[in-house]
Amino acid sequence: MSTQYADEPGGGERLLEELLAQAHSAAPMDLPLLVNRCAEAFGLGEVVIYLTDIQQRSLVALTEGLPTLDIDASVAGWCYRTVSLRVEDVEGGLLCLWLPVVDGAERLGVLGVRSRSVDAVRLRRCRMLAGVVAMAITSKRAYSDSFARRARAERMQLPAEMLRAFLPPRTIGNDHVVSTAVLEPAYEIGGDAFDHSLTQSTLHAAILDAMGHDLASGLTTSVALAGCRSARRAGLGLLDLVDTIDQALAQWLPEKYCTGILTQLDLASGVFSWTNCGHPPPVLIRDGRVVDGALGRTPQPPMGLPARFSKGPRNLHEVTLEPGDRVLLYTDGVTEARTAGGGEYGMDRFTDSIILATAAGELPAESLRRLIHAILDSEDSDLRDDATMLLIEWWPPTARPTQPVARLG
């Protein structure tokens, strides 16, 4: 990559053009070399790309031989957690600029750039690099195993491998809404899954939990996901989505069933609609507190059960959210985790963890990351079933608070 443009008028744009052109054809693991060549042309120092591991505990470098960084105990992790610029002093009088690498609302990792000073031009070029890296990773990870290998600390079990192939990005959103999800045990999930999709006017989100914890359970959930998406993309309503899943399971897996909650959120009005198919009720979080029973309704039969078990048409429920409300969907593996004494983790302890995770006003994805880790890391908890959570946060177009400007440090 040529360095002759760097200080010419419009030179940065020409370098970006070269970087984009080469990023399209570069192999995934050639990305660090390509980015460093561009950084040199920009007058920057060494650049390192870190991606989060599958459990969002560590940042793993794409370049072999570099240490793994703890997301909860490093400046780079602080950058990841807050999705904001951080600057760290390193050896030789250099600074390391840490920038978030994001695909829309999805946190992919961070970019570390070494430099002797920080000014507006360098910051703009660093952000440019981070944006290109995010686009390159997003476009290439669908057909390359390289990024998946770096993100894994152990071998993925077959049911989990199958289900993860069908899952959408962990986090989606825009200025008015965010939907984010986590699944555990990360390498052994059997029947849990989530789905979310965003249109100009509506967020669609669902959480599913198939009977059992094996490959057949994963197949059941996969069929349910396919039915949900087929109906949704045909423009059908929530109850028709459920009917499509019922029919699909009855036809292809007549001995299997699946609980779940399917939802829609109108982005302009905040009207939240849902239908509950044999699943734990959603939790409403308002002003950092859990509103007890706000979304509790009598659940309908699970999807896929024979028609003779149904007592009538399924119910559709609606509430209007307030600005900043969060809705949490979860599977029963969360509350049924076992303690050392043999008891269940329980709803009370779960809601306490929700309050702690959301009290600091963090981004929804960070709140959910902390929440699942609080459950997993509890001294006496033992996760014996899939535990999946999906968190939605809504702001109307006129009430979104101003985001704080990221500070150096």
Instruction: Say how far apart CA 386 and CA 235 lie, in whole Å.
Output: 31
Q: How many CB atoms lie within 10 A of CB 61?
A: 19
Task: Provide the pLDDT for residue 5.
Answer: 47
Q: What is the pLDDT along the chain (409 residues), one digit of tens a residue?
A: 555 445 555 556 777 788 788 888 888 888 999 999 888 888 889 999 999 999 999 999 999 899 999 999 999 999 999 999 999 998 877 899 999 999 999 999 999 999 888 899 889 989 989 999 999 999 888 888 989 999 999 999 998 999 999 999 999 999 899 999 999 988 888 889 999 999 999 999 999 999 877 889 999 999 999 999 999 999 999 999 999 999 999 999 988 999 999 999 999 999 999 999 999 999 999 998 899 999 999 889 999 986 556 667 889 999 999 999 999 999 988 777 655 555 666 787 788 878 887 777 789 999 999 988 888 887 555 666 788 999 999 999 876 665 433 333 3
Query: Which among 24, 49, 21, 51 has a CA at the least distance from the CA of 35?
Result: 49
Q: Which residues contact 385 (CB under 8 A, 6 or more apart)?
A: 213, 331, 332, 333, 336, 337
pLDDT at residue 1, rounded to an integer: 52
Q: Tell me what pLDDT residue 379 has.
A: 54
The pLDDT of residue 345 = 67
| Distance (Å, whole) CA 242 – CA 405 | 43
In the chain, the largest separation of any two C-alpha atoms, in whole Å, equals 75
Report the distance separating Cα 9 and Cα 7, nearest Å: 7
Dump pLDDT digits (tens) for 161-184. 999 999 999 999 998 999 999 999
Q: Are 99 and 111 in contact (CB under 8 A)?
A: yes
| Alpha carbon distance 388, 205 (integer Å) | 13
Scan for tokens 């994963």, then name that residue.
218
pTM of the model: 0.90
pLDDT of residue 343: 62
Which pLDDT score, from 0 to 100, does residue 407 have? 34
